[in-house]
């Protein structure tokens, strides 16, 4: 079966399936195309198949069915050491019995690169991650963040065109993680390498990636740039998984092009944007982001449907206020408002009307 690759396709998964036991599919019919230089994140809960995909790409797992191509060449039968793919592991996997410089030198040595060349490249890679002074140390003498940098430098030192990262920041504390997120993206873009990044942290996925593939149950649920993913989730799994989200359940009453009317279970009717509902009578789950909910009458658009809500809890978080409401029988309805001078502070027990732009309210699958 001849296949003509698209010109910009650098990494391709075509109808890839993977099963470990012959009974269950861990990856079900995966199709994915990456252009050169893209930073793609595979995001999903554990067991969703994202790491398996990465391992298949790296060559540590074989696809049960389908084809994986790198630069137009099928790599199904190429052993990992001939794929020339850099990889950063979750636990860094720095060789404990070697110094940092030896760790970095290893991929160059197995490629039979001369000694002076090797030293030059190792030095450049260490400088790149600002660890030039640490060449003589052992991995155990470095902090987690430093080890992370070395792991990154080692994956890049032999100048691969594709780098895979398997939850590389999982073991770092929050502050360091944010710093490293920035550094990794900067490096990846500066060097122009194609990156496939696996994580279960959605903030990481949103801040770092050109595109994000949201995995669940062995399938890609949505493949889109972060903005689109956040603003227009295509199904309720994606909406739930990415960012914070309020859901209300109901039945579609009317669909009219870009507008739908949804009758909530307690009888109230709201305006929505139909995403994957098509006809009246369908059950739907409506999703609204907490920061898109408005309760200040002055700021609400004319003519939108409003809902009655009771304030249950008001949490002061510094830059924002987080308020928990009871809306249409849902006690976990959250709204977030910016801590602006003119912002109204709500009190528990207060009855308010809330509303939102119909475009921000997505009617998704139930």
Partner 1 sequence: MSDATLSQATAVNEPSAGLTTADGKPLKQALLRAQSHARRRAFLLVAPLLAFILLTFVMPIGQMLHRSVHNEGFTWHEDVTTGHRTPIMTNLSQWFDDNPLGTEPDEAAFAALAADLVVLREVKAAGQAGTRINYERSGSRSMFTKAARRANKLEAPYKEALLELDEDWVDPSLWRVMRDASSSYTANFYLAALDRTKDADGKVTQVNENRQVYVKLFKRTLFLSIIITLLTLILAYPIAHLLATLPLGKSNLLMILVLLPFWTSLLVRTTSWMVLLQSQGVVNDALVGMGLLGDENRLEMMYNQMGTLIAMTHILLPFMVLPLYSVMRPINPSYVRAARSLGATSWTAFRRIYFPQTVPGIGAGALLVFILAVGYYITPALVGGADGQLISNLIAFHMQKSLNWSLAAALAALLLGGILILYWLYDRLVGIDNLKLG
| Residue placing its CB nearer to partner 1 in the complex, 9 or 93 | 93
**Which of 44, 86, 145, 226 is close enough to bind partner 1 by CB under 8 A?**
86
Q: How far is the CB of 14 from partner 1 (least distance, A)?
A: 23
**In 10 A of CB 303, how many CB atoms?**
7
| 111 lies in the site for partner 1, by CB under 8 A | yes
CA–CA gap between residue 311 and residue 290 (Å, rounded): 14
**Is the CB of 82 or the CB of 174 nearer to partner 1?**
82
Q: Which residues, 6+ apart, have CB-to-CB distance to 319 below 8 Å?
A: 338, 339
107 binds partner 1 (CB under 8 A): yes
Q: Which is nearer to partner 1, 155 or 242 (CB)?
A: 155
Residue 204 contacts residue 165 (beta carbons within 8 Å): no
Positive or negative CA dihedral for 127, 109, 101, 140?
positive
SS3 325: strand
Among 9, 93, 344, 366, binds partner 1 (CB under 8 A): 93
Question: Rounded to an integer, what distance in angstroms lies between the CA atom of residue 233 and that of residue 251?
Answer: 19
H helices of 129-223, in order, are 144-156, 174-191, 202-208
Choice from 11, 14, 42, 59 touching partner 1 (CB under 8 A): 59
Could you tell me if 288 and 246 are in contact, meaning their C-beta atoms sit under 8 angstroms apart?
Answer: yes
From the DSSP assignment, how many helices (H) and strands (E) are in the chain? Answer: 8, 19
| Min CB(85)–partner 1 separation in Å | 6
Tracing tokens 């389908």 back to the chain, one arrives at 66
Does residue 170 bind partner 1 (CB under 8 A)? no
Contact between 70 and partner 1 by CB under 8 A: the answer reads no
Find the shortest distance in angstroms from Cβ 108 to partner 1. Answer: 9
* Tokens, residue 76: 């199904």
Q: 154 vs 219, which CB is nearer to partner 1?
A: 154
90 is an interface residue for partner 1 by CB under 8 A: yes
Using CB under 8 A, pick the residue from 91, 141, 301, 343 that binds partner 1. Answer: 91
What span, in angstroms and rounded, lies between the C-alpha atoms of 143 and 172?
10
Contact range with partner 1 by CB under 8 A, out of 55-63, 182-190, 210-218, 220-228: 55-63
Q: How far apart are CA 67 and CA 7, in angstroms?
A: 17
The span of 38-46, 85-93, 206-214, 302-310 binding partner 1 (CB under 8 A) equals: 85-93
Closest approach of partner 1 to the CB of residue 366, in Å:
39
What the block records as the tokens of 158 is: 């032999």
Stretch that binds partner 1, among 93-101, 116-124, 239-247, 318-326 (CB under 8 A): 93-101
Question: 227: how many CB neighbours lie within 10 A of its CB?
Answer: 9
DSSP state letters, 163-190? EEEESTTTTS-HHHHHHHHHHHHHHHHH
Binders of partner 1 among residues 129 to 158 (CB under 8 A) are: 154-155, 158
> Given candidates 1, 4, 46, 79, which one binds partner 1 under the rule CB under 8 A?
79
Which residue do the tokens 């920041």 mark? 169
Beta strand 320-327 pairing with 219-224? unpaired
CB of 81 to partner 1, least distance (A): 5
- Residue 106, interface with partner 1 (CB under 8 A)? yes
Q: Which of 97, 174, 299, 338 binds partner 1 (CB under 8 A)?
A: 97
58 near partner 1, rule: CB under 8 A: yes
For residue 185, the minimal CB distance to partner 1 (Å) is 21
The pair phi, psi for residue 25, each rounded to 5°, is -95, 125
Write down the least CB distance from residue 353 to partner 1, Å: 55
Does residue 85 belong to the site contacting partner 1 (CB under 8 A)? yes
Residue ranges binding partner 1 (CB under 8 A): 58-60, 79-87, 89-91, 93, 95-97, 106-107, 110-111, 154-155, 158, 164
């Amino acid at each position: 079966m001849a296949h003509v690759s698209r010109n910009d396709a650098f990494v391709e998964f075509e109808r890839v399936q993977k099963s470990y036991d012959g009974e269950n599919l861990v990856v079900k019919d995966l199709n994915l195309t990456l252009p050169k230089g893209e930073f793609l994140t595979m995001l999903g809960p554990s067991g969703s198949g994202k790491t398996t995909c990465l391992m298949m790409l790296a060559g540590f797992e074989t696809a049960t069915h389908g084809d994986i191509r790198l630069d137009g060449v099928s790599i199904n039968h190429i052993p990992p050491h001939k794929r020339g793919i850099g990889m950063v592991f979750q636990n860094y996997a720095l060789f404990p019995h070697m110094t940092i410089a030896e760790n970095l030198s290893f991929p160059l040595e197995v490629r039979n690169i001369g000694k002076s060349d090797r030293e030059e490249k190792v030095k450049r890679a260490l400088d790149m991650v600002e660890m030039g002074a640490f060449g003589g140390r052992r991995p155990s003498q470095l902090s987690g963040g430093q080890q992370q940098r070395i792991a990154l430098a080692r994956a890049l030192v032999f100048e691969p065109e594709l780098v895979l990262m398997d939850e590389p920041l999982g073991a770092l504390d929050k502050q360091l993680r944010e710093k490293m997120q920035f550094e990794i993206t900067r490096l990846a873009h500066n060097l122009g390498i194609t990156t496939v990044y696996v994580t279960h942290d959605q903030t990481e996925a949103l801040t770092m990636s050109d595109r994000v593939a949201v995995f669940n149950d062995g399938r890609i649920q949505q493949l889109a740039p972060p903005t689109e993913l956040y603003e227009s989730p295509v199904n309720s799994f994606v909406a739930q998984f990415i960012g914070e989200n309020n859901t209300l359940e109901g039945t579609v009453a009317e669909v009219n092009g870009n507008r739908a009317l949804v009758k909530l279970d307690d009888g109230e009717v709201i305006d929505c944007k139909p995403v994957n509902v098509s006809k009246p009578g369908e059950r739907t789950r409506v999703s609204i982001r907490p920061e898109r909910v408005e309760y200040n009458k002055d700021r609400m658009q004319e003519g939108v449907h409003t809902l009655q809500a009771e304030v249950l809890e008001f949490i002061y978080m510094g830059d924002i206020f987080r308020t928990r409401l009871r809306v249409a029988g849902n006690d976990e309805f959250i709204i977030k408002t910016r801590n602006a001078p003119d912002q109204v502070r709500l009190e528990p027990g207060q009855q308010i009307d809330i509303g939102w732009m119909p475009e921000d309210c997505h009617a998704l699958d139930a």
